Amino acid sequence: MSATFAVTNPATGSELQAVPDAGPADARAAIDRAVQAFAPWKARTAFDRANVLQAWRGLMLRDEEIIARLMTQEMGKPIAESRGEVRYAAAFVEWFAEEGKRAYGEIIPSHVAGKRLLAMRQPVGPVYAVTPWNFPAAMVTRKVAPALAAGCTVVLKPAEQSPLTALHLEALWQQAGGPADAFQVLTTSDPAGVSEPFFADARVRKLTFTGSTEVGKRLYAEAARTMKRVSLELGGHAPFLVFADADVPAAVLQVMASKFRNAGQTCVCANRIYVHASIHDEFSARLADAVRALRVGDPLRDDTQVGPLVDRAGLDKVTAHVADAVAKGARVVVGGGPRDGLYFEPTVLADVTDGMRILKEETFGPVAPVVMFRDDAEVVAAANATPYGLAAYLWTRDLGRGFRVAEALDYGIVGVNDGLPSTPHAPFGGVKDSGIGREGGKWGLEEYLDVKYISIALP
């Protein structure tokens, strides 16, 4: 592979490094290697695989600062968050290394005396993994660790904006003693061209994808050609409901963490903030003060809280959402526009109403739109009135209301008085247009295991 493409730093616009630009022939070669490596990797015990995974985790933690800097430079995440992401990514490896030992089977009571019925779990086979740029380490390990722990081999295609972190993780895998062909990274500027051989090849048994709903739907259709199993972690449009009895300062703190982390470029970040009329003004004033205090700047500085957006397309979308809202009557309380380069000012919008794009689409930027509501049933209906169903949040001191609303929300994840529910041992994933399947916890391992039923008639 001699062709390369450049990775650029969104904070400075400068070129960071050239990486291999894989094409379809490289993809076919990687598939052959992943298929060859599958039988020996599957044959190793889960305990043996866990040892390799734990060594990999140790090297990730050793290289925390190196990986964090790579990540910040290639996609603009503030360095303090990048360090946190390396630890989060390593925690997935730790969890799945151990969980791989618990891929239990079952013995089913038989309907006849002379039979024994068994269900066992086996790895699905070689896996094709496609990941986005917004969590360049954690989205990789959340897929690759359970796949490897289950006994699958993986070819990973990272996003073209953030291949450097993935390449470093691949190098550490080999340093940890992992077979080179069990986990391969293919970097490319042509995701569709490189993906085609995977969809055409029936030996690749699984597609696991994290990214936009639009691309996810396309790949779901492609995967049907060779009847692959799929896991799809897609876009979100999270509502954040603040009820009249909420702890307002706590809710503001959590909305700040949920909304402005990664400059608002997360699939679970609060995208629509519905606040009850009785506390609306207090909430909005506190939120505006907190947003004004955010430190925007060079993401390599330890104290930076908001960095640039990842690219021009991202910045243009955020700018268009704010312009559309303002044209339709929203009021800018703080921020409101782009700054130099790829930066967008942390923004609070008030008087946001239905019909604005920002209440329909994922914004993926540091903009907090606040909507006033009066009726609990109406706000739950508004929260559900979207094709998306990834994460939702609600704030209340009333346990009964907390349960009732959590159960009524059509979402895969609900945070009750909790703006940051994600953790490696809990199920993460969406319903409706937000995807299929779960990552994390025992559910994350199941995605890489097939159930085999064995019926034994005793002689």
Position of minimal CB gap to ligand NAD: 211
φ, ψ (nearest 5 deg) of residue 184: -120, 145
Q: Report CA-CA distances (Å) from 17 to 3, 6, 171, 396, 440.
A: 13, 6, 16, 48, 32
Amino acid at 258: S
Q: Which residues contact 271 (CB under 8 A, 6 or more apart)?
A: 236, 237, 238, 239, 358, 362, 363, 369
Asked if residue 165 binds ligand NAD (CB under 6 A), the reply is: no
User: 3-state class of 6 per DSSP?
Assistant: strand
Of the pair 373, 388, the CB lying nearest ligand NAD is at 388
Record the tokens describing residue 231, joined without a space: 């896991």
Query: At closest approach, how far in Å is the CB of 159 from ligand NAD?
Result: 4
Is residue 233 part of the annotated active site? The answer reads yes
Select which of 74, 94, 152, 267 is catalytic. Answer: 267
Query: At closest approach, how far in Å is the CB of 215 from ligand NAD?
Result: 3
User: Which residue from 144, 185, 267, 275 is in contact with ligand NAD, where contact means CB under 6 A?
Assistant: 267
User: Which residue from 9, 73, 134, 165 is in contact with ligand NAD, where contact means CB under 6 A?
Assistant: 134
Query: At closest approach, how far in Å is the CB of 389 from ligand NAD?
Result: 10
Nearest-5° angle of CA 234, CA 219, CA 170? 75
Asked if residue 88 binds ligand NAD (CB under 6 A), the reply is: no
Asked if residue 234 binds ligand NAD (CB under 6 A), the reply is: yes
Asked if residue 187 binds ligand NAD (CB under 6 A), the reply is: no
Asked if residue 231 binds ligand NAD (CB under 6 A), the reply is: no
User: 3-state class of 11 per DSSP?
Assistant: coil
Of the pair 82, 134, the CB lying nearest ligand NAD is at 134
Record the tokens describing residue 17, joined without a space: 């490094």
Distance CA 344, CA 315 (A): 7
Binding mask 377-416 for ligand NAD (x = CB under 6 A): -------------x--------------------------
Nearest-5° angle of CA 123, CA 125, CA 23? 150
Distance CA 254, CA 260 (A): 10
Q: Which residues contact 84 (CB under 8 A, 6 or more apart)?
A: none
Distance CA 330, CA 65 (A): 42
Distance CA 29, CA 312 (A): 34
**Greatest CA separation found in the chain?**
79
Distance CA 59, CA 51 (A): 13
φ, ψ (nearest 5 deg) of residue 81: -70, -35
Amino acid at 306: V
User: Which residue from 197, 235, 389, 419 is in contact with ligand NAD, where contact means CB under 6 A?
Assistant: 235
Query: At closest approach, how far in Å is the CB of 214 from ligand NAD?
Result: 7
Is residue 65 part of the annotated active site? The answer reads no
User: Which residue from 211, 307, 365, 440 is in contact with ligand NAD, where contact means CB under 6 A?
Assistant: 211
Which window, 41-49, 121-129, 132-140, 252-260, contacts ligand NAD (CB under 6 A)? 132-140
Identify whether the C-beta of residue 431 lies closer than 8 Å to the C-beta of residue 412. Answer: yes
Query: At closest approach, how far in Å is the CB of 327 from ligand NAD?
Result: 24
User: Which residue from 78, 123, 236, 346 is in contact with ligand NAD, where contact means CB under 6 A?
Assistant: 236
Query: At closest approach, how far in Å is the CB of 418 from ligand NAD?
Result: 17
Of the pair 218, 425, the CB lying nearest ligand NAD is at 218
Residues with catalytic function: 233, 267
Binding site for ligand NAD (CB under 6 A): 130-135, 139, 157, 159-160, 191-192, 195, 210-212, 215, 218-219, 233-236, 267, 362, 390, 430, 435
